[in-house]
Amino acid sequence: MTALSHGAGEPPRPGSASVPGSASVPGSASVPGSAAVPGPTSVPGSAALPGSAAVPGTATDPGAGTAPGVRVRDLTVVYKTPLGELPALGGVSLTIAPGTVTGIVGESGSGKSTLALSLLNAVQPPGRIAGGSVEIDGLGNVVDLGGDRLRRARGRHLGYVFQAAQNSLNPLKTVGKQLLDLGRSHEVDDLPALVRDAKDLLERMGLDGARVLDSHQHELSGGMRQRVGIMLALVLNARLVILDEPTTALDMITQATILRIVREIHDERGLTTLMVTHDMGVAAEVTDRLAVMYGGRVVEHGRTMEVLGSPAHPYTRALITAIPRLSGDTGQSRALPGRPPTLGTLPARGCVFQERCPLRMDICTTVEPPSITENGRTVACHAVEAPMTAERRKEHA
Ligand SMILES: Nc1ncnc2c1ncn2[C@@H]1O[C@H](COP(=O)(O)OP(=O)(O)OP(=O)(O)O)[C@@H](O)[C@H]1O
Ligand code: SF4
Ligand SMILES: [Mg+2]
């Protein structure tokens, strides 16, 4: 895969070389009910969220802000179930540096969408944020925002593609009409410029912009609708963009192409981007940093190439080993044994990965491992005393 140009001062861009093949996280399936955020917009379930904030100048006014950093601290999100309220996120902490693309990977049900929605304070009943904070530069703690302030914040700062956004366009209106509704709801002054920008974005993603804007949802394929969702998330020029599996309806090659384009736009506009994906190959190519989730925790987080090149957490190692290889020793991939936990089957004490972990010790069944950070690498595992970067490993060899 072609390496992309890289902005000065950013962390080194990962390539895909050290990731065998390109494959999905095993055992993945979509979890219904985690996407739509109600609001007054007529563009449901996709794009910059509804709000009344004025977007200064045109839709692509580059002065709309700078890339924000995000600090998630001890975030707990629970869902009401027949067994009571159970945690889908159990005290997640994660720092997202301004200007980076951070990938979130992990098996189905690990909490990726719940975390993404929490960044917009958009977890819907039967879920709720039960504790912790999400500080976004320029916005403050979004957990404390509500009503108009929250809607304004979303419109001005946050672009979002929901999981399964391809199914959530308004079937009764053309894409162009929905775009104009979106522009009006955000008080965009120059609607013709908004339409021009939308066409440009669609054409960069390989579509006939004018035709797509004239089309209704049913006239577009799933992959085309996903690209419309990405366009809607980018067209208002939000500086924090959150993409939850934005390309799952596309074939692998188109998927990689679209995500490269998203990366290019990220670099051109100076965004902060969070990208949820099941695909480790995609994550390797387009992300700067990678957070690995399991059982509602971030179990490992660091520079993408370091996490993939020398995974420290047993779960990250198992995930990487489970990727089918397309070259080299093709017999080497091993499926991850067991199943990921559900809300009802998470261990009540100790490490969330204990039931599948080959390194489990006695302490793992009673004490939850703390997250330890060293040199920009965070790992939560009793068997990993201090995560080491590849360079430090060499130094110690
Ligand atoms: N509306 C809901 N009601 C009850 N439980 C929910 C709801 N939404 C999500 N969950 C549960 O919360 C946990 C985290 O779900 P989430 O959708 O965040 O996972 P995910 O990592 O995005 O999964 P996927 O890869 O399948 O999209 C799962 O156990 C899921 O079953
Ligand atoms: S804390 Fe224990 S059970 Fe959990 S991943 Fe580490 S070694 Fe395995
Ligand atoms: Mg999800």
Q: What is the mean pLDDT of residues 144-164?
A: 82
Structural domains in the chain?
67-396 (3.40.50.300)
Gap between the Cα atoms of 318 and 24, Å rounded: 13
Query: Which ligand sits nearest to residue 340's alpha carbon?
Result: 1
Per-residue pLDDT tens digits for 307-340: 999 999 999 999 998 876 555 555 566 677 888 8
Q: Regarding predicted confidence, which is higher, 150 or 305?
A: 305
SS3 256: helix
Ligand 1 atom with the shortest distance to the CA of 25: 25
Residue 123 has pLDDT above 60, yes or no: yes
pLDDT given at position 65: 66
Query: Which ligand sits nearest to residue 27's alpha carbon?
Result: 1
Whole-model pTM: value is 0.83
Give 354-381 as a DSSP string: GGG-TT--GGGGTSPPPEEEETTEEEE-
Mutation test residue for ligand 2: of 298, 316, 361, 372, the one with most atoms within 8 Å of CB: 361
Gap between the Cα atoms of 164 and 251, Å rounded: 15
Residue 286 has pLDDT above 90, yes or no: yes
Ligand 2 atom with the shortest distance to the CA of 351: 4
Ligand 1 atom with the shortest distance to the CA of 245: 27
Which of 111-115, 150-154, 211-215 is predicted least confidently? 150-154
